[in-house]
Amino acid sequence: MLPVFMENQLSFLGAILLFVISFLSPVYVSGQVDSLIDDEYDRYKNRGDAHFRQGSYLEARRHYQSCLEVPGFEANPWIKSRIEYCSKYQVIRQQAENAQVAEAIGFYRELLGYNPEDANAKDKLIAIYDKKADDAFDLKRYREAIVNYGQMLKYTADEKKINEVNERIKKANVFRLNYQYSKLQIAAGVVAIGAGTYALLLRNDYQKKRNALDIISRTVDPENIGLIESSDGYRQYKEAYSDVQSAQNKNGWFKAGVGVAVAATIAELYLILNKSKLSTSAITWRPSSDSVGLTIGYRF
């Protein structure tokens, strides 16, 4: 049996302990509740942020709306502004999906101006420019294809995609140069044939008129003494002689035609011989470091 003074001490300590427990319990429980509320808010917010970056504005708005239903966050101004952005951007996205290609490009670019992380808008623009580039390539509009392939690279940071597009740009550039060389070869050939034909016509015309003059000369002056007795014969001789002089005056054009034909032929041969030396790795495009625009490089 404990002494009375020890029983009194134990009773006193028990009372103090009971008081401490009764005082601290609500604080502990309240802290646990606050932690659970914060976790719930963060969960909805993080989901909303993920959908916002993806460009899924309806889903993002739904999760942000759930944030406002968490006790203590009913009037959160940041969440409310985020919900307004989602509603606005969803309208623009819907306009883009319903628009023709040219207008859709403008809408998707507008979205990226508001939300540079919008993955959905980037994917849509990549798909649009991919099709435009392929269509231009099929129509042999290689320069246009190269420009559109370059536009694709503004919206991707994926190295595999960048390398793939650069290979397509390289291929389009080679086709473009080959196509230009072919057109130059055809043009040079046409010039060579045209100039040569013109020179030949001038030469034949001169020779024909010279032969006509010789025939008339032998007819009106058979003795070749420089005397034409018939006035009609003199008229014929004079006309034939005038024709020969006129044709001879075109000798400069004949020489020019021959020169042009020779030069065009040499140019055509040069193009044929150098066509095989076309570079297959001239131009490369990469997204610039600030994610706006492109960096262009040239490698010899």
User: Which one, of 129, 62, 58, lies nearest residue 90 by Cα?
Assistant: 58
Q: Rounded distance, CA 212 to CA 121, Å?
A: 81
Cβ 295 vs Cβ 288: under 8 Å: yes
Residue-level pLDDT at 12: 57
**SS3 assignment, position 294:** strand
Residue-level pLDDT at 211: 80
**Radius of gyration from C-alpha coordinates of the chain:** 45
Residue-level pLDDT at 188: 54
Q: With a threshold of 0.75, does the pTM exceed it?
A: no
Q: Rounded distance, CA 264 to CA 191, Å?
A: 6
Secondary structure (DSSP) of 153-209: GGG---HHHHHHHHHHHHHHHHHHHHHHHHHHHHHHHHHHHHHHHHHHHHHHHHHHH
Residue-level pLDDT at 283: 44
Q: Rounded distance, CA 151 to CA 293, Å?
A: 8
User: Which one, of 199, 216, 218, lies nearest residue 260 by Cα?
Assistant: 199
pLDDT tens string, the chain, 300 residues long: the values are 545 445 555 565 556 655 555 554 454 444 454 566 788 999 999 999 999 999 999 999 999 999 999 998 888 999 999 999 999 999 999 999 999 999 999 999 999 999 999 999 999 999 999 999 999 988 988 889 889 988 988 998 888 878 888 888 888 777 777 666 565 555 655 555 665 666 666 667 767 767 876 777 667 666 666 666 666 766 766 777 777 677 666 666 556 655 665 665 665 555 555 655 544 444 444 554 444 444 434 343
